[in-house]
Amino acid sequence: MRKVRYRDAIREAMSEEMRRDHTVFLMGEEVAEYDGAYKVSQGMLAEFGPKRVIDTPISELGFAGIAVGAAMNGLRPIVEFMTWNFAILAFDQIINGSAKMLSMSAGEFGNPIVFRGPQGAAGQLGAQHSQMLTNMLASVPGLKVISPSNGYDAKGLLKSAIRDNDPVMFMESEQMYSDQCELPDEEYLIPIGKCDIKRVGEHVTIVSYNKIMKIALQAAEELAKDGIEAEVIDLMTIRPLDIHTIIESVKKTNRCVIVDESWPFTSIASEITFQLQRYAFDHLDAPVRRVCGADTSMHYAQNLVEAYMPSVAKVVAAVKEVNYA
């Protein structure tokens, strides 16, 4: 095993797949000459050349449309958005084009694209650059949505996403790009559509994804000091959702807290809560609790950022509430 950063794991996944398959190419703002806004694509232009690592204008709708057309004609684009906040401009191509292409063409045209980039809060970036859009995209039939919490999972899932024949939304976090992880030298893939149990426990199930998994795991360590052993599940893939793994955990623990940076209304946490009450109601000894981002726009002030975001203290309080309900 060797230590690398999250950004390096993403780069390795893309580079390995581009060496394996000449139809794979990368496009986006500053991915080539500048080596990527977050240096995720560093060195890729030198290896693969300007026909396969392509700088685009600042026009998300335009280059997303180019990718949709390229995928219809046998290529496998990787589209990097500098942030998913900017990708809102491309939602017409993603939702009305890519997601619907296979069904609207009666199976004639597939759309094997990976749209990737960071999302969510990343410090004091204000309301328009701090949004968690996972739940919006996960609500669209035809899209697969992945949001890994560490570099090892990110590499294995991204390789699977690039090989997948459906459009995949690969949603990262710029706050994780410098995180260290361990990777094996040999190739590996992680299947799309499976959760991962990051910590085994018996008293409560905590479910999360993306960078908030750090909060969930830290909360589990704090709870262990009080004798509460939490089982922590990393969703990894949001759609398709591996609800079976969550249900089996809740059958054991009888309690569940979902930690989700999304706004609470129509959040990922809301959907999981519904499915648990539908399929695991008889196993619940307390209502499912959500710990979400605040139901408002993100503010710039540091104290308001902290008030907005899920925290270890909020998760611990929610777990103790369901544990003694």
Cα–Cα dist 107/102, whole Å:
5
Average pLDDT in the chain? 96
Give the CA-trace dihedral at 66, 239, 189, 5, to 10 degrees: 80
Phi, psi at 126, each rounded to 5°: 80, 180
Q: Which domains does the chain have, with CATH numbers?
A: 2-183 (3.40.50.970), 196-323 (3.40.50.920)
- 182 catalytic? Reply is no
Which pair of structure tokens corresponds to residue 52? 């396969």
Cα–Cα dist 214/275, whole Å:
24
% of the chain residues with pLDDT over 70: 100
Catalytic residue, candidates 12, 17, 29, 60: 60
pLDDT in the model for residue 271: 97
Contact 255, 213 (CB under 8 A): no
Mean pLDDT, range 98-123, rounded to an integer: 94
196-199 and 168-172 as β-strands: parallel, antiparallel, unpaired? unpaired
Which pair of structure tokens corresponds to residue 320? 């103790």
The answer, yes or no, to whether residue 325 has pLDDT greater than 70, is no
pLDDT in the model for residue 184: 97
Cα–Cα dist 173/68, whole Å:
24
Mean pLDDT, range 87-108, rounded to an integer: 96
Cα–Cα dist 88/229, whole Å:
40
The answer, yes or no, to whether residue 131 has pLDDT greater than 80, is yes
Mutual orientation of helices 6-20 and 151-163 as an angle, nearest 10°?
30
Contact 211, 235 (CB under 8 A): no
Taking alpha carbons only, the member of 214, 165, 162 closest to residue 6 is 214
Mean pLDDT, range 301-306, rounded to an integer: 93
Radius of gyration of the chain (CA): 20
- 60 catalytic? Reply is yes
Q: Which DSSP string corresponds to 250-280?
A: HHHHS-EEEEESS-STT-HHHHHHHHHHHHS
Mutual orientation of helices 243-253 and 268-279 as an angle, nearest 10°?
60
Contact 6, 178 (CB under 8 A): yes
The answer, yes or no, to whether residue 71 has pLDDT greater than 90, is yes
Name the pTM for this structure: 0.96
Mean pLDDT, range 131-149, rounded to an integer: 97
Contact 319, 288 (CB under 8 A): no
Query: 159 to each of 10, 188, 189, 244, how far by Cα in Å?
Result: 9, 8, 6, 24
Contact 181, 8 (CB under 8 A): no
Catalytic residue, candidates 17, 29, 80, 129: 129
